[in-house]
Structure 1
């Protein structure tokens, strides 16, 4: 690519950096679109990501005021040249868009377009969308086409990243549902069965053995309280953390505060100055803290749990310690499955998880994740 100046380099850099940062996909595509219009000297630019119903899930325009956009009307459909760019992998460069055989029409309030350059946004053989610019004095050049192809490639990265993020979010939801289902089955279902037996026993003894009947009713009350606590814990787990708004340290603090109020166990939380991490790492640390706390509350029979969040050298360290019964880390069972899940979360973000347990002595879960990189 020749003849590119400093201002053009800055525009390309802005588009590339937008893809690399954690902006929303719409913000990234807007940056790319604005850069494209400025780089090639066009009056108008637009970018569309199709839906499955013949329209566009996302359609952005640059060079058109809000008033003009409102007057134009609904987002266009996949017709004419817009449809062609979604089916053919090759750029389209025209001195006058109206001379193309696939040109159809535009709404009455739509700006009149003349010169046109459109490029499909592709990922391998798949067309993800399209970007086009229009109305450049003297028409578009081969260099303009090369530049737009480059920016379309960056738009493809942004769209693919957004799809991967959505897929990861869906998998996380499925994983969380499975975790909750396990908790309900392992804890609540068993306690409800015991509660039912105690209630039936109390009813049988009510007429012939009053004192034993009262003992069974006391058991009913205790089991009812335990079931209520278990269900409240599950509800706490369902509430999504506001990691983006609160930050990791505050989100974990809210979690420990809620669990402190639900369970009759002392939970101590200590957090130092904690920097922001990438979203996946913050999510992983939060979910590991949640799993470690639930394991301790459910299995350890502890009187005290301590949660610590601190920075050590180049890592963020989470420690969840209890003074409970301890367990065989290498054994099997529900708690072992929880450890496997925590280790998988740690590995997924480049972290490391260690579990140390002694009987007596309790259990410590330690997670380390890199601060950067």
Structure 2
């Protein structure tokens, strides 16, 4: 840089210094520091102009943290500072207190006399203002200082524009990565809570929000907070309550304006228009001061994230529905084959055996044929129970609950009880009677495990148009004479309350048969 004046070299060094970083906050601080070094100013600041012609950020140089804390809140753009906001242009004063627009200083503010203010323009639009005070040796800022700072501010506008473009591209990249990870994490079959938890986590990571809430419409049709995220997640209900109108608008599919909260924060309600998943709204708390100039882009990216999340949720639900449909179709095919092929063949075999039975003279052979026919009848009933289970779509059917309850006692008994069902168990038994049957079955299995010590237990439930019958048979030690009834007394009371009857008889050659019959129409 030989041949250049000292001022030119200083300006080039200042431009190089503030261009050495792409992080916006660091760039803004380097601009202030470079302006102070270039002019010999003791104090400097850069005020970023907000959406309401005030200062949304105020970056200072020359005042330490203790001094800033003693002064109090950062200026909002009144007095001389506001003059440059409404009339952007260079302003140089020897005594700023003597200017008519001077507003004075707050308590604990350092004394300042000389002043130089220059706007920073980004693409011709005022982004902020450079404020410099207290030139060294109590001198006034010169016209040369003004020219240097104007040149620095012009270069600063380009540097700020590059930093903002870089920050925006990084934010967009982060949002895209989060959306991609969300799409990959939403595995088919994920529950509503699992899916909404993933949405909340992704939104919290990319928005850096202290509070994220995801609301979903429940079975009663009312929206409820199902997932929260963030270091201040406990405030989710409070934020949702304040933004209640925006949340209702988002549930209606609109994109409402941000709702102001305390400390200049904003609550944003984002609709997630998932057709298969159901109405969902994402509520995110934003602090515009942390990401200067990024609010508008963040709002757009949040809306885009909501659309992408809806596609991911619908895709996961569609894949899960397709897999469930394949399972249901396969079950229907198996049930149809069992009914049309297996049962018919077994029934035909039984008829043939019964036809042969009349031609058999040996009592031993006849007895074996009768026994085989009885086994075939039992097998047919078991297959029909399996067909009913295969055709049952839900997991809360009475048939499924009886099977599940029997399997619970496998660890207690040391074996799994055999379960046989017949008739329209899932459609012919009212829910309240089904609950009583399950309670009675639990009591019967508990008694068998505690007192009978059986080697086998059989559970049979049958239903017709008149009554449902529960029969529990074990081959244990039986009921000793004179034993005190406690659980059995409860069962008898339960049967009487339902208008039914409980019978307890010995099994042959050993064991006990418990039979509970209850009318299905009372």
TM-score (norm. length: structure 2): 0.36
Return the structure number with greater relative CO, CA threshold 8 A, min gap 6. Answer: 1
Rg larger in structure: 2
